[in-house]
Amino acid sequence: MTTSTVLQPLPSRTRLAKATLVALAVAAAILGVAVLPAEHGIDPTGLGRRLGLLGMSASAPDAKPVAENPATPVPTPVVPVATSATLVRNEYVVQSATPFRSGDMHVTLGPDKGAEIKAKMRKGEQFTFAWSTGAGPVEFDMHGEETNTAKDEFTSYWKDETASGAGAFTAPFDGSHGWYWHNHGTEPVTVTVTVSGFYSELYRP
């Protein structure tokens, strides 16, 4: 059996020339309508503006990079060493040049008898205190005498009749500050007081 092959005739030069011209025309149209308006902002036909292609490639100016500021070192606060002339004093801290100490004393009060225990302090110094009879109530007066004042002059801070007392105290002036207890009962009563804070001496007058 013999297979026959049909050969297609080659296009003529005239047809090739026409096809080439058509391709060039399409390319020119695309160039004028789309490429030039979009890429270069040139719109020879006016269609690029109508189609919204004009200036599409125009990009916003690049933002300038923000230079990073070098980290600023935080200065370390300098805390001065406290001396007697540079003591800290504010609503939270009261620093004292007097050494901290803690002490306790006992005093026995006979029937209808009284006695005192005092602490020598400078103005602004503080202590905490607690005292107790371990028995019945006694009359007491917590008070202070300013340095170089008359013998019978004093300032009263707290007066009551009870079996115990506790709190915190700040000296309003230089001098002696403490308690006077009086036993109005018929049996002896022993008062024990503990004082912790800033004072130079705890004593019985």
> What is the rounded radius of gyration, in angstroms, for the C-alpha atoms of the chain?
52
Q: Which of the listed ranges 7-16, 26-35, 40-49 does the model predict with the highest average pLDDT?
A: 40-49
- The strand pairing partners of 129, in sequence order, are 167, 195
- Alpha-carbon distance of 164 to 189, in angstroms, equals 12
For residue range 132-191, what is the model confidence (pLDDT) as tens digits? 998 899 999 999 999 998 888 999 999 999 999 999 999 999 999 999 999 999 999 999
Q: Are the beta carbons of 123 and 170 closer than 8 angstroms? A: no
pLDDT in tens, 104-133: 999 999 999 999 999 999 999 999 999 999
* Residues paired with 158 in a beta bridge: 142
Q: What 3-state class would DSSP assign to 193?
A: strand
pLDDT at 196 over 90: yes
Identity at 91, one-letter amino acid code? E
Confidence (pLDDT) at 88: 75
Written as one string, the DSSP assignment of 116-174 is EEEEEE-TT-EEEEEEE-SSS-EEEEEEEEETT--TT--EEEEEEEESEEEEEEE-SSS
Q: What 3-state class would DSSP assign to 74?
A: coil
Q: Tell me the CA distances in angstroms from 52 to 32, 37, 76, one per residue in order.
A: 14, 9, 61
What single-letter amino acid sits at 184?
H
Instruction: Give first-to-last CA distance, the chain, whole Å.
Output: 149
Give the pLDDT confidence of 18-27 residue by residue, as tens digits.
766 766 665 6
Closest CA to 88 of 122, 124, 119: 124
- The DSSP symbol for 32 reads I
The predicted-structure confidence for 57-70, as pLDDT tens digits, reads as follows 554 455 455 555 54
Confidence at residue 60, expressed as pLDDT on a 0 to 100 scale: 43
Residue 36 has a pLDDT of 61
pLDDT at 190: 98
Residue 22 burial (CB count, 10 A)? 10
What per-residue confidence (pLDDT) applies to 20? 65
pTM: 0.57
Report the pLDDT value the prediction gives residue 86, as an integer from 0 to 100.
67
Please state, in angstroms and rounded to a whole number, the distance separating the CA atoms of residues 204 and 153.
18
Across 16-38, average pLDDT? 63
